[in-house]
Structure 1
């Protein structure tokens, strides 16, 4: 197994960027082809070890050398890097989308920049990601933040203290927010957490709406817990927030979501172990101890949950099943023996070709408005999770 690479937390980003630019210029002056290298963020360069708990990068790199096909990418990297360095110098902050429009404005205003023009935001986002992978820094360290969604959190016991950029502190007692949730920021590492009394567990719900329903029915009033809505594939804000809860509060964390291949691979795996696309970020943006509470295959029969067959004629469902098969063969997370039970769920889904939504629990006893809560608590108490 490759050794876990430790990220340089004291990296001088402007100095490192200047060194890269000077090397490129020196190569050009010496009639050599300049090049840039970045960590290869893909599954075939991902390692997983249960003791580490998240996907880590291997030794492979993406090398972009100056030629006819790569000249635009290299020029775009230098162009975007200059904007990011300017922001660092003056203390400005931008979202990815704002950076896209800043670039578009500069390009439209100067015909010399026309060859660098982006057709859509995805192209500029990929350049920002490449710069982060190249320097091995988080985009937040480049003063670039995403418009993160999800992570709406409810609790009667949690107090959050945020260190503000100007040195002040903001203290939020979640029990005082009424029906409003607490919304974690993209960089939750600036938050300090404290429990007013012992917190028994944290429940991360795939659907924000389902989390809101549980809260409206009094879930956090009856339970000393943290309740969170992930809103689908977890954003960096959600992932970092879960990591923070796991590190600072050391409470059991459970994931409650749909029983389908997409949820297991794209949502739960990303929350627990990170993703191949963010290999340099996974150490701070994953919660290795989170457990899959449901929907489990055994729950379908035990609670007589409504479910339906997956139609392989549906392109999205067909892709999910194909990815599930690929994951069993190539994903180091699902291939690890510690995650055999999760792999078995994928195998079951491929064989049975069914899907069961998390909302199906509400049909178990329609006359009991908190039946879903009772089932969740029963599963936690009995250890009915993976």
Structure 2
């Protein structure tokens, strides 16, 4: 019964009309075919085949101010076919085969769906999703060397896209007819535009002066509810914590294509600075293979800064740094090449450690619910030279 169902699914899948291939689709198919050909030739020559992947860690990245993001180093790891690796080797090839099928049929799969697809692979199936995620990350790392990301492999993340409002028209297309869809982000009423999981096909029209990336949904909602973006001539985006791949790629494309500066407005704590802001601007060690696509080198740190705590008299609206905060801050000063390369950041993080406190964006409500709109942001935006790099 199971075999019959599997054949039925396969027949339905192959019957789907093949869509026109994009240049990225062509590169993806070429990568997969070339990888399969190398494996086959090794087997024909009685040589154990192997696959090589970039090492994904902070130890295998470099950072320069000129480049503006964490660049992948030359470190590589090999997965050679052996008794111990036969399962992961086969899983890698099966996921690449699934990618090929999806490109040819203009389809996609989430990471969760890819895990469940493997349940029809017999002994090659994944035991749990962390196992399939690891193999998928390795494939993406290998593909990144050819300028491809997971989205080009047709694997989509199951992340929130983030809310957006402001002076922007997003040009999308109707999936069924291919007709152009123009989405005016100034006409969302009390809501906001949601960034889709795949953004490569989108076009943009804007007269905005800058993009404001905001950590919390609450602060985004306040600025959007008062249409602050209209008066400021801005586009505002809610990151909701560490920005997703879709958010980072969307902001990167929008910033590059329209030469828009990006200002980050997050909590003044080691997590907001070292994880949220740093990930948006330069990427991370674990994702070094995709940083050149997803980071936003134009980004600058508007606030909240340790100096803001004193300048806006927020001392009694702060919270003590926890041991995990202190460790994260010290690790940034000792091990993170981005912070180590910028003296203003070294000074700011040391200032935070000396003060021993952190402050949330909402601390500004001490002076009134709309103080951030009426006083804080106008004052900060008048002194852009003071923004941290």
- 1:356 correspondence with 2:359: yes
RMSD: 2.2
- 1:346 correspondence with 2:349: yes
Equivalent residue pairs, number: 358
Write the distance in 2 (CA, Å) between the matches of 1:70 and 1:323: 35
Q: What are the equivalent positions in structure 2 for 1:85-234 lying under 5 Å apart?
A: 85-104=100-119, 106-107=120-121, 113-114=122-123, 116-136=124-144, 137-155=148-166, 157-163=167-173, 167-195=178-206, 198-234=207-243
Alignment-derived partner of residue 372 in structure 1: 372
Deviation per CA, 1:13-55, whole angstroms, max 9, x where unpaired?
3333233223323334444322110122211111112122111
| 3-state SS in 2 of match to 1:329 | helix
Match of 2:332 among 314, 327, 336: 327
| 3-state SS in 2 of match to 1:276 | coil
- Once the two structures are TM-superposed, the CA of residue 10 in structure 1 deviates from its matched residue by 8.4
Q: Which moved more, 1:35-44 or 1:10-19?
A: 10-19
| 3-state SS in 2 of match to 1:202 | strand
| 3-state SS in 1 of match to 2:135 | helix
Which runs of 5 or more structure 1 residues have no equivalent in the other structure? 1-7, 108-112
Write the distance in 2 (CA, Å) between the matches of 1:208 and 1:333: 27
Deviation per CA, 1:211-268, whole angstroms, max 9, x where unpaired?
0122123323433211110110010111011112211222332111111111111110
Write the distance in 2 (CA, Å) between the matches of 1:293 and 1:12: 39
Contact 1:14-1:85 within 8 A present in 2 as well:
yes
- Once the two structures are TM-superposed, the CA of residue 148 in structure 1 deviates from its matched residue by 2.6
Match of 1:82 among 97, 112, 115: 97
Using the size of structure 2 for normalisation, the TM-score is 0.85
- Once the two structures are TM-superposed, the CA of residue 329 in structure 1 deviates from its matched residue by 2.6
| 3-state SS in 2 of match to 1:63 | strand
Match of 1:262 among 271, 282, 287: 271
Alignment-derived partner of residue 385 in structure 1: 387
- Once the two structures are TM-superposed, the CA of residue 70 in structure 1 deviates from its matched residue by 2.3
Write the distance in 2 (CA, Å) between the matches of 1:54 and 1:163: 32
Which runs of 5 or more structure 2 residues have no equivalent in the other structure? 1-22
Write the distance in 1 (CA, Å) between the matches of 2:133 and 2:104: 21
Contact 1:150-1:229 within 8 A present in 2 as well:
no
Deviation per CA, 1:261-309, whole angstroms, max 9, x where unpaired?
1111111011111222222322221211111111111111222221111
